Amino acid sequence: MQKLPKVSVNKLIKNLLYKNKNEIIFCYGNKKISRLELLNKILQARTGLLKKGFKNKDKVVCLLDNSYEQIILFLACLSLGIVWIPIEPKRKGIGLNYIITLVNPKVIFTRTKKNLEKKFYKKIILVQKDLKNILQATNDYDLKFENHIQCILFTSGTTGPPKGVIVRDKMLIASAYATGIACDIKTKDKFLLWESLSHIGGIEVLLLCLMEGSSFVLLKKFSAKKFWKQIRKNKITKLHYLGGVLDILIKQRTKNTDRKHQVELAFGAGARRETYHTFKKRFNIPLREVYGMTEASSFTTINFKRKLGSIGKPLPWFKLKIVKKVNGIGEIVIKEKQKGLITGGYYKDNKSTKILIQKDGLHTGDLGKIDSNGNVFYIGRIKDFVRVKGENISSWEIETNLNMHKDISESVILSTKTDIGEEDIIALLVSKNKNKTKLDKIALYFQKKLPKNYNPRYWSYVNALPRTPTFRIDKKLININSLKLYDFFKKKFTFIKKN
């Protein structure tokens, strides 16, 4: 049975001096950073931060895009026991103000004041290129590190205010180590780090490369148009995916270079059933599905046997069970076998923490089932249902059926209240073709395919669906009031006011 390594983030930083110190650990633009150079920059940043009065357990907010500067600051802050709170720099308005007010950081690292309210200006340190205003020369290789390692990672939840997940050292190590297991890590592997370093998915790849001596190419942001060119140019061997990234890549125009790359495996979460075959056939890359959440060290299950539709079986350091089952389907609950792998809770949010962590384990809010061979299947979110004639209808189940139609690229299910206190189903579709199939034909087709209560009343096409930073569809950003909808019940187009 695999066991978690007895190592800390600070140990990984120290090892930069002793383990393959001249090897390149990451590239960013024209920069090629060796392990020794990375360590030197971390030490210089530490010295600069200490001279600015930073100390153990101070909190800092980072509003930077993926960058050389962010990686140096991240590792320097962790090594000093400074609480690291990364936020997507494009976040603004109420959400950003809520987070900064909640955590009350000592400083905010950013390149611009643009999205910040004036009341936060006194906390700002404007980050210069190559950290020229922070780095300080040092000869200190004594490498004294603080043991207090903590991040607060705000989830990109699709409902309610953002919640800050408290992520400690052991969780960071477990997430990186499980990433290595999921991708069959080899020292010579090279990753394309396109995911935001504001999320566990980006952080775990960085820490994995510190741990295993592999390397990565850092991108400022994901670009579907440039993606395969970046893959080929940098000779990437392993590809991590999230949410709808695979579907976005499949939508790109087919090219004769689609199979010209060195990627051996793509691994991640959120691949649809039909995507497995399509992606493998077009790009010659097998997929390995995993399941997890930031609150439980990112990875809980891995589908090594590649059973279609399954999220696999639990890692050795977790137990997984299904509770409150109806017809075999219930909530996925995770329990740690070693202390420290599940978050202590949400930062200053006792109410949400009590819902998340209960006596029997971490309640994910996800529906799942387990087959006779122990394979786990993800069904959907508990809260993501529509109430029709006294029955809770799974949005996921309807969406999965819609997405199997030959003319539908992807879909989302929403609802609107009826006069009798229940709900009508709304289906929004993204077409695969410029010449869209008429909505009345689509509705009629699914009337025969779906159970009666599962049939949407309202239908519409949209050009694209809004997504969270982790590429999940963000339903709360969809404005139904502006859409002309086809009412299948009354056989006419109409506008509705979503309530």
Domain coordinates of the chain in residue numbers? 9-369, 386-494
Report the pLDDT value the prediction gives residue 422, as an integer from 0 to 100: 75
Confidence of residue 142 (pLDDT cuts 50, 70, 90): low
Report the pLDDT value the prediction gives residue 477, as an integer from 0 to 100: 86
pLDDT tens, residue by residue, 420-457: 567 899 999 999 998 999 999 999 999 988 878 889 99
What mean pLDDT is predicted for residues 5-19?
A: 93
Residue 1 has pLDDT above 60, yes or no: no
| Superfamily of domain 9-369 in the CATH hierarchy | ANL, N-terminal domain (3.40.50.12780)
- The residue with greater pLDDT, 193 or 17, is 193
Residue 367 has pLDDT above 70, yes or no: yes
Report the pLDDT value the prediction gives residue 476, as an integer from 0 to 100: 80
Residue 32 has pLDDT above 60, yes or no: yes
Q: What is the CATH number assigned to the segment(s) 386-494? A: 3.30.300.30
Q: Output the 3-class SS for the chain.
A: CCCCCCCCHHHHHHHHHCCCCCCEEEEECCEEEEHHHHHHHHHHHHHHHHHCCCCCCCEEEEECCCCHHHHHHHHHHHHCCCEEEECCCCCCHHHHHHHHHHHCCCEEEECCCCCCCHHHHHHEEECCHHHCCCCCCCCCCCCCCCCCCEEEEECCCCCCCCCEEEEEHHHHHHHHHHHHHHCCCCCCCEEEECCCCCCHHHHHHHHHHHHHCCEEEECCCCCHHHHHHHHHHCCCCEEEEECCHHHHHHCCCCCCCCCCCCCCEEEEECCCHHHHHHHHHHHCCCEEEEECCHHHCCCCEECCCCCCCCCEEECCCEEEEEEEEECCEEEEEEEECCCCCCCCCECCCHHHHHHHEECCEEEEEEEEEECCCCCEEEEEECCCEEEECCEEEEHHHHHHHHHCCCCEEEEEEEEEECCCCCEEEEEEEEECCCCCCCHHHHHHHHHHHCCHHHCCCEEEECCCCCECCCCCECHHHCCHHHCCEEECCCCEEECCCCC
What mean pLDDT is predicted for residues 261-278?
A: 92
pTM over 0.85: no
State what percent of residues in the chain have pLDDT above 90.
Answer: 75
Residue 396 has pLDDT above 90, yes or no: no
Residue 224 has pLDDT above 80, yes or no: yes
pLDDT tens, residue by residue, 97-109: 999 999 999 999 9
